[in-house]
Amino acid sequence: MKLRSVAVTLLFGYLLGSPSIEAQITGGMLNPDMDAPGEPFSYFWHPTDAIGTLFAPVASEVTPEGYIYTGFGELMFFLDNPPVPVDKRVKTLCKGYLPVVQYQLARNQITYTFSLFAANLGGEIARGGIQLAPELALRRTTPGGSDAGDVHF
């Protein structure tokens, strides 16, 4: 009787586990050729990042699209007129190691550079003395490819 219950448990474990394992293998990773040459790539379909401060009890998520989700709300970014939501799958760290999540988009001869980080405001971290600080830099290029100027927000 005990052997039968072990066999049934293993059978159910195999049947329930097989589709999820297959989905993780085939649905969770991408071919790096889909990313533009010369730019960073990610194997993951929906990569997320976290930003927060040292010893803070909570952190915020940088969503796969490039928004900031705090657990209480989501800060979304829009470009163009009419507004179109930002959707940038691959994000990098500043200088490759600093805890500042960055990504770039180019539309209509304007390069948008987003930098997302968290900073301690000097208060008690347990009381929420943390500030999320998104920075947006715009660079407009002329049709000839030269820079027409920078704007930082």
pLDDT tens for 40-53 read 877 777 888 888 88
Q: What pLDDT is recorded for position 106?
A: 83
Structure tokens at 4: 């039968």
Phi (first) and psi of residue 65, to 5 degrees: -80, -20
Name residue, tokens 């699209």. Answer: 65
Distance CA(69)–CA(71), nearest Å, equals 6
Phi (first) and psi of residue 138, to 5 degrees: -115, 140
Which residues does the chain have with pLDDT short of 50? 10, 18-20, 22-23
Predicted model pTM: 0.67
Its sign, for the CA torsion 63, 122, 100, 51, is negative
Phi (first) and psi of residue 145, to 5 degrees: 100, -5
